[in-house]
């Protein structure tokens, strides 16, 4: 793309020189750099030391005291921003609510008082299982206000997944809603929460938001209505000064084992990093209207709906609904209605909307838009160009932000808040300030430009996870042992001759289905928990819209016949165990699976079968497996896949 001018003062820089110089300085004196960035926030007590680095454990802004809820609400109500819109919320049916910063402040305080009355103290865990309603960020901020730790569980997850996460954190209180809506359908959240609570002895009380106005069971002494408790609550709760390294939240994400990882984020480092990275990437200003379409149950929602935007007193749009319901222009309608200036979504959503055709966005002006963003998975140049042309009308830069639950905030992204470098469709461009990224080979040596390798981060950064909840050993192993001394992201990347990074997807056994992160091992354990299945292998198959779709190969126990009915039941079972995001698209019943001698399933062979590719050179596998057996399994699978059985 040519370097060109954009409205609203954003111009592509022809040289990238200013940006590169800024970045170079930031990683030369990293601590000095973050020390200056941290001063953008309001602290109750300054830090004694910027960084204590005992690899691989980092403590940022040691001794500093702050409060995330204070930064997101109190700080703003002391200024003219008290009357500024904090949230525009809307649902599928068009019901809408608006919250000013003072209203948000008032409710956060009241709910903090509710939590206190429920005996929640500093360091206690509060779990949330809620639809995309304002009460969710309010609950998160109220939890942070009293120094408790929140753990939000995506409302699309099953009762069992919720129970597992609650049991892992030993949460005292669960905040949920009677129900939520998706494509006009009611999702009975409280019913699912009740199933979970039966399995989670740590939960003393549940607070329920009346979202759907439906009849639900309320257990006396355990369950409380949110609105009734608010009425009885105090109107002010002092924000507790929190040491920078006290955790703000735990968020579970998939890794390469069957057990999700509890990512622990700090308060100080996390807030500093997100506040700065958000400004760089989105150049947020007082007049911006910002809409991130993610669910708050994922890290994107935590950092890019709640903490970073609210710390900037941004005006947010929250929409509880899917992109194409009731019509494929629902999102474009919302952009015009609220005058959205910054729109941040996923490549899957773009590809899906692209399929409906350009006539849908053409019905709307979309003239308020200034900046577009994407996150969660690699964006293919075709989707990038469609987005750029049909939504941004060739005048809005696309900020492709690469990051992870673990990184806490944006790591690689264009930074129009500093200097907008020329964009290349499909590349997240350059590392953000303070981020020292490298692409290395299997041995950890930097690769030449144009060569695919592993993306690693060479220096700690304030947004990085502190550890895995109650599992520092796994933290070390998962992120710091593959390449000693550097953070292993699990992603493949290429750096081109301009230094631009192209993210190429996961190098490990983690899938990205419609941007949702799902571990193959989690899928496999869900599949084998079905009584008829003795062994299973899950792999990702490229999917035109979702990026990847789930394919399961399963071996049946003796006495079970591979029928369509069984296939359907297995699909339902996996869906029930994990949640609808984990629904397998294809299932194959097989007699054997290609394995290494140590019993590891050879996904590469399964992938070749699915993709209709040849088995490839097996000579390198000789140490690992019996070539003959693998070939046999391959031929068998090929026949099955061909027959579509
Ligand atoms: O593979 C990368 C992909 O999403 C993974 C992280 O997933 P999660 O922890 O769920 O967080 C997603 C939202 C921050 C990464 O390891 N990913 C994320 N953003 C991008 C991406 N892949 C390519 N381009 C991106 N912009």
Read out DSSP for 234-290?
Answer: -S--PPPPEETTSEEEEEEE--SSSSPEEEEEESHHHHHHHHHHHHHHH---TT-EE
Q: Rounded to the nearest whole angstrom, what is the distance from the C-alpha of residue 411 to the centroid of ligand 1?
A: 10
CB neighbourhood size of 84 (10 A): 17
Domains of the chain: 509-644 (3.30.300.30)
pLDDT of residue 72: 98
Residue-by-residue DSSP string for 374-390? EESSPPPHHHHHHIIII
Return d(Cα 88, Cα 107) in angstroms, integer. 15
For residue 257, the CA-to-ligand 1 centroid distance in Å is 18
Residue 633, pLDDT score: 75
What pLDDT is stored for residue 492 in this prediction?
A: 97
Closest CA to 72 of 301, 247, 310: 310
Q: Point out the ligand 1 atom lying closest to the alpha carbon of residue 506.
A: 1
pLDDT of residue 596: 76
Q: Kindly provide the b/e burial profile for residues 383-418, where b requires at least 16 CB atoms within 10 angstroms of the residue's own CB.
A: bbbbbbebbbeeebbbbbbbbbbbbbbbbbbbbbbb
| pTM higher than 0.75 | yes
Largest CA distance in the chain: 74
499-557: pLDDT as tens digits: 999 999 999 989 999 999 999 999 999 999 999 999 999 999 999 999 999 999 999 99
Average pLDDT rounded to a whole number, residues 429-437: 98
Read off the pLDDT of residues 158-193 as tens digits, 9 standing for 90 and up.
Answer: 999 999 999 999 999 999 999 999 999 999 999 999
Band of pLDDT at residue 621, cut at 50, 70 and 90:
low
Per the CB < 8 A criterion, the answer to whether 166 and 127 are in contact is: yes
- Taking each helix axis from N to C end, the angle separating 159-169 and 564-578, rounded to the nearest 10 degrees, works out to 30
User: pLDDT over 70 for what percent of the chain?
Assistant: 96
Angle, in degrees to the nearest 10, between helices 268-282 and 30-38: 90
Q: Does the pLDDT of residue 630 top 90, yes or no?
A: no
What pLDDT does residue 7 have?
44
pLDDT for the residue 606: 87
* HSE toward the beta carbon, residue 329, CA cutoff 13 A: 15
Index of the ligand 1 atom closest to the CA of residue 503? 23
Q: How far is the CA of 118 from the centre of ligand 1 (A)?
A: 37
Q: Whose CA is nearest to atom 5 of ligand 1?
A: 404
CA of 489 to the centre of ligand 1 (A): 10
pLDDT tens for each residue of 557-604: 999 999 999 999 999 999 999 999 999 999 999 888 888 777 788 888
Do the Cβ atoms of 335 and 364 come closer than 8 Å?
yes
CA 309 to ligand 1 centroid distance, Å: 19
pLDDT by residue (tens digit) across 352-393?
Answer: 999 999 999 999 999 999 999 999 999 999 999 999 999 999
The predicted-structure confidence for 52-94, as pLDDT tens digits, reads as follows 999 999 999 999 999 999 999 999 999 999 999 999 999 999 9
**What is the pLDDT at residue 645?**
52
Measured by CA distance, the residue closest to atom 13 of ligand 1 is 376
- Residue in 346, 384, 402 to alter for ligand 1 test, most ligand atoms within 8 A of Cβ: 402
- Percent of the chain predicted with pLDDT > 90: 88
pLDDT at 620: 52
pLDDT of residue 3: 42
**What pLDDT is stored for residue 2 in this prediction?**
40
Q: What is the mean pLDDT of the chain?
A: 94
At 122 the three-state DSSP class reads: coil
pLDDT score for 250:
98
SS3 letters across 497-520: CCCCEEEEEECCCEEEECCEEEEH
Instruction: Return the DSSP state at 15.
Output: S
Positive or negative torsion for Cα 424, 295, 10, 37: negative
Pocket of ligand 1 (CB under 6 A): 253, 298-300, 375-378, 400-405, 428, 489-491, 503, 505-506, 512, 517
Residue to mutate (ligand 1; options 273, 277, 375; most atoms within 8 A of CB): 375
Mean predicted confidence (pLDDT) in 472-494:
97
For residue 19, pLDDT beyond 70:
yes
Residue 97 CA to residue 80 CA, distance in Å, equals: 21
- Give Rg (Cα) of the chain: 24
What pLDDT is stored for residue 611 in this prediction?
85
The full DSSP string for 416-464 is TTTBBPPP-TT--BSBPTT--EEEE-TTSPBPPTT--EEEEE-S--TTS
For 299-314, how does the pLDDT look when each residue is reduced to its tens digit (9 = 90+)? 999 999 999 999 999 9
Ligand 1 pocket test target in 404, 464, 507 with most atoms within 8 Å of CB: 404
Cα distance between residue 639 and residue 125, in whole Å: 51
């Amino acid at each position: 793309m040519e370097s060109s001018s954009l409205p609203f003062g954003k111009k592509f820089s022809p040289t990238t020189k200013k940006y590169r110089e800024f970045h170079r300085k930031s990683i030369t004196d990293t601590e000095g750099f973050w020390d200056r960035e941290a001063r953008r926030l309001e602290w109750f007590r300054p830090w004694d030391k910027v960084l204590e680095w005992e690899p691989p454990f980092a403590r940022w802004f040691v001794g500093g005291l702050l409060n995330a809820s204070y930064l997101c609400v109190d700080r703003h109500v002391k200024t003219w921003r008290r009357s500024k819109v904090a949230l525009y919320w809307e649902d599928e049916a068009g019901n809408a609510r608006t919250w000013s910063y003072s209203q948000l402040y008032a409710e956060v305080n009241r709910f903090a008082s509710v939590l206190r009355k429920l005996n929640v103290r500093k360091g206690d865990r509060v779990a949330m299982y809620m639809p995309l309603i304002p009460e969710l960020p309010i609950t998160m901020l109220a939890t942070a206000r009293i120094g408790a730790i929140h753990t939000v569980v995506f409302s699309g997850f099953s009762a069992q997944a919720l129970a597992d996460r609650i049991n892992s954190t030993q949460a005292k209180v669960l905040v949920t809603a009677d129900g939520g809506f998706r494509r006009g359908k009611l999702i009975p959240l409280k019913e699912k929460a009740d199933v979970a609570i039966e399995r989670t002895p740590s939960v003393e009380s549940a607070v329920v938001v009346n979202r759907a106005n439906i009849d639900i069971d309320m257990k006396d002494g355990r369950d409380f209505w949110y609105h009734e408790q608010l009425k009885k609550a105090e109107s002010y709760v002092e924000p507790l000064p929190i040491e920078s390294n006290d955790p703000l939240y735990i968020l579970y994400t998939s890794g390469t084992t069957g057990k999700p990882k509890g990512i622990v984020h700090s308060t100080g480092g996390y807030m500093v990093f997100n506040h700065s990275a958000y400004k760089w990437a989105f150049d947020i200003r007082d007049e911006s209207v910002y809409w991130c379409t993610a669910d708050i149950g994922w890290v994107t929602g935590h950092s890019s709906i709640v903490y970073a935007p609210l710390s900037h007193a941004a005006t947010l749009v929250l929409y509880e609904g899917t992109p194409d319901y009731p019509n494929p222009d629902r999102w474009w309608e919302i952009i015009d209605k609220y005058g959205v200036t910054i729109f941040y979504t996923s490549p899957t959503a773009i590809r899906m909307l692209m399929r409906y055709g350009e006539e849908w966005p053409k019905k709307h002006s979309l003239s308020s838009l200034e900046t577009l963003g994407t996150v969660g998975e690699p964006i293919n140049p075709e989707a990038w160009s469609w987005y750029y042309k049909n939504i941004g009308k060739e005048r809005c830069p696309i900020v492709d932000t690469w990051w992870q639950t673990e990184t806490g905030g944006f790591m690689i992204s264009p930074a129009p808040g500093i200097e907008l470098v020329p964009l290349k469709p499909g590349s997240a461009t350059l590392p953000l300030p303070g981020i020292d990224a490298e692409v290395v080979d299997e041995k950890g040596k930097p690769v030449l430009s144009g060569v695919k390798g592993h993306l690693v981060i060479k220096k700690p950064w304030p947004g990085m996870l502190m550890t895995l909840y109650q599992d520092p050993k796994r933290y070390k192993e998962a992120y710091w042992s593959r390449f000693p001394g550097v953070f292993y992201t699990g992603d493949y990347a290429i750096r081109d001759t301009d230094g631009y990074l192209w993210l190429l997807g996961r190098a490990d056994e983690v899938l990205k289905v419609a941007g949702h992160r799902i571990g193959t091992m989690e899928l496999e354990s869900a599949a084998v928990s079905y009584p008829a299945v003795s062994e299973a292998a899950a792999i990702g198959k490229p999917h035109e819209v979702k990026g990847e779709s789930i394919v399961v190969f399963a071996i049946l126990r003796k006495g079970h016949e591979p029928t369509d009915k069984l296939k359907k039941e297995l699909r339902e079972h996996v869906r029930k165990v994990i949640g609808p995001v984990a629904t397998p698209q294809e299932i194959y019943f097989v007699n054997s699976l290609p394995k290494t001698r140590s019993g590891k399933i050879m996904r590469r062979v399964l992938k070749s079968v699915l993709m209709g590719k040849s088995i490839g050179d097996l000579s390198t596998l000789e140490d690992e497996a019996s070539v003959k057996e693998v070939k046999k399994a391959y031929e068998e699978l090929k026949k099955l896949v061909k027959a579509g059985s």
